[in-house]
Amino acid sequence: MKLFIHRKDLRISDLPALDYMAAGGEPGMHALFLDPFLLRGERYREHSGAGFLRAAGRLERAYEKAGRKLNILYGEPAALLDRVLDARPDIREVIVHEDYTPYANKRDRELREAALARGAAFTALPDLSLAPMRDFHEWTGRQTPYKVFTPFYRQWRAFLAERYTTVYASEVSDLDTVAAPSLPDCGLPAHLKSVMEDRDGQAHEPERRLRSFLNGALSRYAEARDAYAQDGTSRLSASLNRGEISARRLYVAVGELGSIQSESWLRQLAWRDFYLYQSRMDPDYYHYERKFDLSGLDDRHFAAWRDARTGIPVIDAAMTHLNETGWMPNRLRMIAAMFLTKNLRCPFIYGERYFRLKLSDYDNALNRGGWLWASSLGFDAAPYFRIMNPVTQSKKFDPAGDYLRTWLPRASLDAAVPIHEPAPDAIVDLRQSRLDAIAAYKAIIQNAAREPDDD
Ligand SMILES: Cc1cc2nc3c(=O)[nH]c(=O)nc-3n(C[C@H](O)[C@H](O)[C@H](O)COP(=O)(O)OP(=O)(O)OC[C@H]3O[C@@H](n4cnc5c(N)ncnc54)[C@H](O)[C@@H]3O)c2cc1C
């Protein structure tokens, strides 16, 4: 028998693992291990943790509807696997989909060891990205990974045009599933169960959302994606990151349309693959902060940024939106991240950590990519001297101020101050803080270039 463990792949079709298991023909055990580490503290209540738990609830119900069994177990993954394999020595292979974060790498090493120690094989199949990273990298014939987006994108498009086949065919209903042995103390604690069973959260029907986007907003995507007062983007990121829909499905669906606007949307999907690729290929990706001396930066303004008290209308509106709903449109993520790291000269890891809790579509690789870009510290990042002015951005992308009126607490809408302009008591002067940031980041980047690389 094979054991398939779900992670960031919370769906019942178009999964490499299902095709793989269907080819074997024998019944399988399907499980989702809920990991106390990832839901520690208050994380399970925050937008990112609660979103995952609700998606786990939807997955369980989808299995039930298909007449199949999903075994949800709570515990440290390698210890859980040990116990399952002890109770079912007939499990000869453990199957997962690849994941590339530092925590995932460590966890999967431990899972592999636990499986091999009991004589079971351990198989990890690619699923997260649209272009399977290993195949893509081999196909490019490069010795070193891409560090710049545009050449990556050109090759990525060519790879997909030549190699892309289709979504995976098997459905969970095509497979026989068996119940896990009963394991005392591995049931879900009540506080997590109640979030998992909560059906009141935002409706998540990624297939319907995809259709409505492709038939509607896609036609003006390139012009409207930054006009954040309108709903001009797909809002599929949370579903993609939890694996409720695959990037392959999006590629096929948009390809069927053949619209000229498809290219600019595909380009955004390529950014997702670019960051996943970096996170897998670049050994520094998850610790750039160690390569730079950030001691000249500090967190004195972090709380005001977090709590939407900066006095810069677009920043306070965006942070209120995030705090209340778990969502912030992409252009505003760029503006808010650049404002924190540059005008407020706060180390990017503070903002990165905050987004980790709050974003409903939180993903470690993509979030880090966004923060490295904004702070000019990653590959192909914003140049340190090009600092977005939040007031100019606000006027350009929300000229009528509709977004500000929706999200800014009423009290701060002072008729005496034009809507996009900083309040008289704003925490920084935009002009001076921009000049200070340029000097600070110039020094950070030049010093790092002079340091010998001893990693
Ligand atoms: C500081 C910062 C932090 C971010 N953190 C995250 C995060 O934790 N999780 C996350 O999914 N995205 C993150 N992003 C990227 C981006 O903001 C979101 O992917 C996007 O807003 C999702 O909206 P959408 O689904 O409507 O996208 P669309 O515009 O409809 O694009 C389609 C898909 O392309 C991908 N995509 C779009 N823009 C980007 C981008 N700039 N970088 C990478 N992929 C992109 C997403 O998967 C998205 O769902 C971050 C960006 C910044 C600047």
For ligand 1, atom 30, name the residue with the nearest CA: 234
The residue ranges of the chain whose pLDDT is under 50 are 454-455
**Cβ distance 243 to 8 under 8 Å?**
yes
3-class SS of residue 135: helix
Return phi, psi of residue 393, to 5°: -60, -40
Residue 307 tokens, joined: 């709590």
287-449: CATH class: mainly alpha
Which atom of ligand 1 is found nearest the CA of 234? 30
For ligand 1, atom 47, name the residue with the nearest CA: 237
**d(C-alpha 348, C-alpha 352), whole Å:** 6
**Residues paired with 31 in a beta bridge:** 5, 71
Q: Which residues, 6 or more positions from 155, have their beta carbon under 8 angstroms from its beta carbon?
A: 136, 140, 146
CA dihedral (355, 248, 201, 411) positive or negative? positive
Q: How far is CA 191 from CA 38, 80, 97, 183, 352, in A?
A: 15, 20, 28, 19, 27
For ligand 1, atom 23, name the residue with the nearest CA: 235
Ligand 1: distance of its center to the CA of 237 in Å?
6
What's the pLDDT score for residue 48?
Answer: 83
Note the Cα 219 to chain centre separation in Å: 25
Residue 101 corresponds to which amino acid? T
For ligand 1, atom 16, name the residue with the nearest CA: 330
Q: Which of 366, 372, 377 to mutate to test the pocket of ligand 1 (most atoms within 8 A of CB)?
A: 366
Ligand 1: distance of its center to the CA of 249 in Å?
17
Ligand 1: distance of its center to the CA of 351 in Å?
16
Q: What angle do CA 326, 328, 332 make, to 5 degrees?
A: 155
Cβ of residue 271 lying under 6 Å from some atom of ligand 1: yes
- pLDDT tens figures, 219-238: 999 999 999 999 899 999 99
Residue 209 tokens, joined: 């959302």
**Cβ distance 93 to 4 under 8 Å?**
no
For ligand 1, atom 26, name the residue with the nearest CA: 235
Inter-helix orientation angle 247-257/206-215, to 10°: 30
Residue 415 tokens, joined: 């008729």
1-127: CATH class: alpha beta
Q: Which of 128, 319, 330, 388 to mutate to test the pocket of ligand 1 (most atoms within 8 A of CB)?
A: 330
For ligand 1, atom 44, name the residue with the nearest CA: 272
Query: Where do the domains of the chain lie?
Result: 1-127, 129-168+206-282, 287-449
Cβ of residue 225 lying under 6 Å from some atom of ligand 1: yes
Please tell me the chain's helix, strand, coil percentages from 3-state DSSP, rounded to the nearest 5. 55, 5, 40
Which atom of ligand 1 is found nearest the CA of 237? 49
What's the pLDDT score for residue 450?
Answer: 73
Q: Which of 350, 283, 286 is nearest to 103 (CA)?
A: 286
Ligand 1: distance of its center to the CA of 330 in Å?
6
Q: How far is CA 291 from CA 295, 354, 375, 455, in A?
A: 12, 22, 13, 8
**Cβ distance 43 to 362 under 8 Å?**
no
Which atom of ligand 1 is found nearest the CA of 225? 29
The CATH classification number of 129-168+206-282 equals: 1.25.40.80
Ligand 1: distance of its center to the CA of 23 in Å?
35
- pLDDT tens figures, 197-211: 887 655 568 999 999
Residue 237 corresponds to which amino acid? S
Cβ of residue 367 lying under 6 Å from some atom of ligand 1: yes
DSSP state string for 257-268: H--TTHHHHHHH
**Cβ distance 202 to 327 under 8 Å?**
no
Cβ of residue 8 lying under 6 Å from some atom of ligand 1: no
For ligand 1, atom 31, name the residue with the nearest CA: 268
Terminal CA-CA length for the chain: 43
Q: Which of 101, 211, 220, 237 to mutate to test the pocket of ligand 1 (most atoms within 8 A of CB)?
A: 237
Helices (H), 259-347: 262-281, 302-306, 313-325, 330-338
Ligand 1: distance of its center to the CA of 266 in Å?
12
Inter-helix orientation angle 262-281/247-257, to 10°: 160
Cβ of residue 156 lying under 6 Å from some atom of ligand 1: no
Ligand 1: distance of its center to the CA of 373 in Å?
13
**Assessment of whether the complete model's pTM goes beyond 0.80:** yes
Cβ of residue 363 lying under 6 Å from some atom of ligand 1: yes
Ligand 1: distance of its center to the CA of 264 in Å?
13
**d(C-alpha 388, C-alpha 139), whole Å:** 37
**d(C-alpha 105, C-alpha 112), whole Å:** 10
**d(C-alpha 42, C-alpha 141), whole Å:** 45
Confidence check on the interface: ipTM exceeds 0.95, yes or no = yes
Residue 168 tokens, joined: 């995976």
Query: 């086949």: which residue's tokens?
Result: 165
Which atom of ligand 1 is found nearest the CA of 275? 43
